[in-house]
Chains A and B, each alone.
Chain A
Amino acid sequence: MNVIVCVKQVPDTTEVKINPETNTLMREGVQSIVNPFDLYAIEEGVRLKEKHGGTVKALSMGPPQAKEALVEAVSLGVDDAFLLSDRAFAGADTLATSYTLAQGIRRLAPFDLILCGRQAIDGDTGQVGPGIAEQLGLAHVSLVRKIREVHPDRLVVERMTDDGFEVLECRLPAVLTVVKEINEPRVPSIRGKLRAKSYQVTVWTAADLVAESERLGLKGSPTQVVRIFTPKRRGRGELLEGKPEEQAAALFDRLREAGVV
Chain B
Amino acid sequence: MMNYFLTDEQQMIRDVAREIAEKVIAPVSAEHEETEEFAWEVMEACAQADLFRVSIPEAYGGMVPPGQVGIFNQCLVVEELSRVDAAIAVSYAASALGFFPIVLFGSEEQKRKYLPALADGKVLAAFALTEANAGSDAGGIRTRAVRDGNHYVLNGTKQWITNGGEAEVYTVIALTDPARGSRGASAFIVEKGTPGFSFGKKEKKMGIRASATRELIFDNCRVPVGNLLGREGLGFVVAMKTLDRTRPGIGAQAVGIAQGALDDAVNYARKRVQFGKPIITQQAVQHILADMAIQTEAARAFVYAVARSIDAGVEDFSKESAMVKTFASDVAMRVTTDAVQIFGGYGYMREYPVEKRMRDAKITQIYEGTNQIQRNIIGLALAKEYAAKK
Contacts and interface: CB of A to CB of B under 8 A. Distances in A.
A190 B16 contact: yes
B51 A190 contact: yes
B80 to A, nearest CB: 12
A107 interface: no
A187 B55 CA distance: 20
A17 interface: no
B20 A193 contact: no
Interface in A190-243: 190-194, 197
B45 interface: yes
Q: Which one of B8, B16, B24 has the greatest number of beta carbons of chain A within 10 Å?
A: B16
A19 interface: no
A110 interface: no
Nearest to A185: B23
A190 B63 contact: yes
Contacts of B23: 187
A190 B45 contact: no
Interface string B48-76: 11110110000000010000000000000
- Please tell me the size bucket of the interface on B: 10 to 19
Contacts of B13: 190
B250 to A, nearest CB: 23
A189 B9 contact: no
Count chain B CB atoms within 10 A of each CB in A188, A190, A192 and give the residue with the most: A190
A187 B12 contact: no
B22 to A, nearest CB: 9
Contacts of A197: 8, 12
A253 to B, nearest CB: 39
B377 to A, nearest CB: 33
Interface in B1-57: 8-9, 12-13, 15-16, 19-20, 23-24, 45, 48-51, 53-54
A192 B24 CA distance: 18
A186 B45 contact: yes
A187 B24 CA distance: 9
Interface in A123-143: none
B49 A189 contact: yes
Interface string A35-75: 00000000000000000000000000000000000000000
Contacts of B50: 189-192
A197 B63 CA distance: 16
Interface string A7-50: 00000000000000000000000000000000000000000000
A187 B44 CA distance: 11
A188 B16 contact: yes
Contacts of B53: 190-191
A189 B50 CA distance: 6
A192 B9 CA distance: 12
A189 B53 CA distance: 11
A190 B13 CA distance: 6
A186 B12 contact: no
Interface of A: 186-194, 197
Given A187-B23, A189-B48, 10 more contacts: A188-B19, A188-B49, A190-B9, A190-B12, A190-B13, A190-B49, A191-B50, A194-B9, A194-B12, A197-B12
Interface of B: 8-9, 12-13, 15-16, 19-20, 23-24, 45, 48-51, 53-54, 63
Closest 4 CB pairs of A and B: A190-B50, A189-B50, A187-B19, A189-B49
9 contacts: A186-B48, A187-B24, A189-B16, A190-B12, A190-B16, A190-B50, A190-B54, A193-B16, A194-B9
